[in-house]
Each structure stands twice: as C-alpha cells, then as structure tokens.
Amino acid sequence: MPHKRSVAALGGTLCVAALGGTLCVAALGGLLTVAPQASAAGVTCATNVYKRTFYKNTALSGSPARTDCDSAVSESWSGSPAAGMPSNNFGVRWSVTRDFGSGGPFTFTVSATDGVRVYLDGVRKIDLWKSTGDTARSKGVNLTVPSGKHTLRVDHVNWTGAAKVKFTYAPRTSATYDRTKPLTPTGVKTVYNTKTRKTTVSWTANKEMDLANYSLYRRPVTSTAWTRVTTTTARSWTDPLVNPDDRTPYYYEVRAKDKAGNTSSGSADTVVRPLPVVTSLTGTYSSATGRVTLKWPLNTEPQFNHYTVLSNDLGNQGYYTWVLLGTTTQNTWTTGPIRADGEWRHYRVLVTNDNGTTTYSPASLDANAANELWLGIPDGIAPQQAPELSLRSCAGGIRATATDYTPAPIRDFDGLEIERRTAGTDTWAVVLHSGYDPRSIIATAGVCDTPAAGSAYEYRARTYDAAGNYSPASDIQTFIPAAG
C-alpha cells in the first residue's frame, strides 16, 4: 500500500493524491462518482516537475499502468507502489525537461535498491543495475551541464522486496569549480513617475539554479560611469529621485551574480527619459499660403502633457529672441503668413511632462538640437526699381545699355537683362542677361544688338536677383536700324 497520501477538496470534487497517482471523485447530490484518470499522453506537469510513469514489468516497456506528476524522486515502497501495481517486478520512470540557465558544474546523486539508471539528454550518467534486496546503495557523479534546456531521466526497477529510490541534482557552488558566468538578465522594464520622481525597474527571473542576487546599476546618458543602486534577490526595485529638474535621461542595467561569485554581463541598457523629448523636427514653406508647417514624431509616453512651439524673431530691442507661437498636444503646427524674404527662420518645439517640467530652452540657437529647425524661406521679393535704358547705333546694329545707380551696399539684384521685340508684337526676346562689376560705382551692362533691317524694334531693361525675381521694366524705347 502507498505510505503517504493527501486529500484536497476542489469545489464539488474530492481528490486523493497517493504515491502512484491521483484519484478524483465528484460529489453529486450526496453521491460519489469516480472520475477516470487521464491517459499518459494527456498528463502535463508543471515547470520543473517530473512526469512519472509506472510499468508492470522491469523492462519499462509497453503502455504505462498509470502516469502522474511528482515534485521529487524520493520514494520508499514496502509493497505495491500504486493501486493495481504488483509488489515485485515493476518499473518506474521519472523525466523532466528544465532550463539550466548558463549551465556549469553539477553533482548528480542517486540512492536506490535494485536497479537505477540516470540519464542526461538520453546519455547514461549513472548505472546501478543489480538486485540488492532491501538494502539501498548510492552513487554520485560530477559533470558539466551545458547551458539551456536539458532532459533528466531516472529509471528504477524493483525485482523483490522493498523499493527505495532517491535522486537529486545540484550545482557545485564553489569558486574552485564554477567559473561559468550567469546568463545576462533580460526583460528589463522601467516606469518613471513624474509625481514622485522615482523609477521602478523590473526584470525577468534568471534561470540559474545557483543564483545569489541581482545588482541594479544606473548612469546618466552623458556619463560612462555606472553607479550601483542596489543589490537584491527580488526582481524589481524602485529608485528614488535622481534628477531634481527631470531633464537628464539616464540608463539602467541589471547584472546577475551566482553563489560562486561569478557576475553576468549587464543587461541591454534601458533608457529612462523623465521628460519626453522631440527626436526630430521638420518643416516646409508654402509659397501659395506663405505659411510654414512644422512636424515632429508624436510622443506616447504616459508622462507627456503638451508641446510648446517657439519662433526666433527680431524683437523691439533690436536683437533676436524666442517668441511663443502657441501650445498643442498634436505633432504639427502651422504658422501665420511669413514674408518670402529669402531669410532663414528658426523654430523650436519643447515638451512639458505631467508634473509641469518643460524641456530646457537656451537663448542661443543650436543647429544640432533635434528639437530645433533652421528653415530657409524662398526669396519672393523682386528688386524694387527699374534700371535706365539707353539706345544708340553701333557697328551693324543697336547698342543697348542698362544702368542702375543704386549704391552698392543696398543693391538687391544680381544682374541686368535687356529684351527686344518687333514693334507691334507681343513676344520679347532676351538679348542680354548679364552680371555686372560689383566694384563699379554704378551697375551697368550693354550689348550691340544686330536685328534685321527694315523694321522698328522696341527695347526694355530689368534687373534680376539670385532667386529669379525681376524688377519692374524700364520705359520701352523704339529704334529703327539704318538700312545698308
């Protein structure tokens, strides 16, 4: 008979767990009905719990007589190990697949009467297969288990008499033998609370069987030096205030240490941004509307509250300063009309968190700041005045000269252009498009034009700038080339 059992009432079901299986009976209106045991193929055991199968033979062959789960291989049967099983000439097999983490040196120890064999991934590591009567004997073996998941199997047979079996496996935690680093912690997550200014860091449990503790480290993104925040056996920690102004982001990483003193590499650095930031800022100018449209990635952090949009403008004091355009919770902003003057415009977008802290906004411009945009506005302003035009004869044609007397420091054009058309028509042809000598007191350019004789021709002159804008045209002048 089994030597130990437990009883558990589950709702309307009464389950009796015995060595050899579990018997469940359902209470139906005062009557007890026996629930059949699940088939061997349908038994699923919890993580790191053995699946145990019973056989009515010592070859451990054929269909199991029953299958259940066992938390440890530690039994002593004086007779039948389970209902329906014989007292002699039976076999029991335990198997479990578990994650050994980084692996390393382990000791397997077994004690049993009659036959017992221990396997690692199907390879026999201990073999004691001989009738012993009621007297158990034991054996231990030191071996290295590779990292990752592996399967342990224990086979035990009882030919006659008492059936005793016990198996344990444990890491060797002496630094003399264990030089294997634990696996690097994974699943690191951070949650920052802007009200308390504390960060809660959590991570996934390490798979090591000889884990001693975890250490949590922190460093500002501007530094390479790590500070150890705490050493703990737990898998989360709440770090108190780090940044009084909430503006400097910082990194966390977790390291694992085993009982032999080996320490893992640090986990992937996890950045904590107490204050969300604008990671990029772009903008376009519409010639049709004269407005600038700014765009940036929308922040989704829980501590995000709103954006502030600024423009760097010339103030009444005669110097440039940042001017508030407005606030928004969206990731786009369209300005009012802007003069197409060919100048640079500067914009900045700040973020405010739910505790009222806002991105630092220095008075100076920063061409490398991700939240700042330098945008060139197209030049849509034409030169203001028309040049003078003079016509006279030249060898074989007409000498056309354009002249502008604007002082050099305030000239708003890059060249002069002269056009011609046949009198009474509408189509102009360019006969001169030329720059001028910037060293000269006056800006002038001319050409000896040789149109066909016998017709009257009209001429006009304009100035132009680098953006292709043209000034008003001069008065039209008519010239008739001399025949011959």
Which residue, among 101, 66, 289, has the nearest Cα to 208 in the 3D structure? Answer: 101
Residue 126 corresponds to which tokens in the numbers above?
């201990």
> Of 252, 272, 292, which residue constitutes the final position of a domain?
272
180 in a structural domain = no
CATH number of the domain at 117, please: 2.60.120.260
The number of distinct structural domains making up the chain is 4
DSSP state at residue 54: E
> Of 354, 376, 398, which residue constitutes the final position of a domain?
376
* Domain of 242, in residue numbers: 189-272
Sign of the Cα torsion 379, 382, 388, 392 reads positive
- The order of strands in the sheet holding 198-202 is 189-193, 198-202, 236-239
105 in a structural domain = yes
- Phi-psi region at 100: left, alpha or beta (left = phi > 0; alpha = psi -120 to 50): alpha
CATH number of the domain at 268, please: 2.60.40.10
CA distance 215 to 211: 12
> Are residues 167 and 18 located together in one domain of the fold?
yes
484 in a structural domain = no
> Are residues 153 and 23 located together in one domain of the fold?
yes
CA 289 to chain centre: 38
DSSP state at residue 409: G
C-alpha count within 13 angstroms, C-beta hemisphere, residue 209: 19
**Which amino acid, one-letter code, is at 152?**
L
> Are residues 93 and 123 located together in one domain of the fold?
yes
277 in a structural domain = no
> Are residues 65 and 209 located together in one domain of the fold?
no
**Tens-digit pLDDT profile for the chain (484 aa)?**
333 333 333 333 333 333 344 443 333 333 333 333 334 558 999 999 999 999 999 999 999 999 999 999 999 999 999 999 999 999 999 999 999 999 999 999 999 999 999 999 999 999 999 999 999 999 999 999 999 999 999 999 999 999 999 999 999 999 999 999 999 999 999 999 988 889 999 999 999 999 999 999 999 999 999 999 999 999 999 998 776 678 889 999 999 999 999 999 999 999 998 999 999 999 999 989 999 999 999 999 989 999 999 999 988 888 899 999 999 999 999 999 998 988 899 999 999 999 999 999 999 999 999 999 999 999 989 999 999 999 998 988 899 999 999 999 899 999 999 999 999 999 999 999 999 998 899 999 999 999 988 889 999 999 999 989 999 999 999 998 876 5
176 in a structural domain = no
Which residue, among 448, 465, 357, has the nearest Cα to 399 in the 3D structure? Answer: 448
> Of 246, 272, 298, which residue constitutes the final position of a domain?
272
Check if the beta carbon of residue 442 is closer than 8 Å to that of residue 370: no
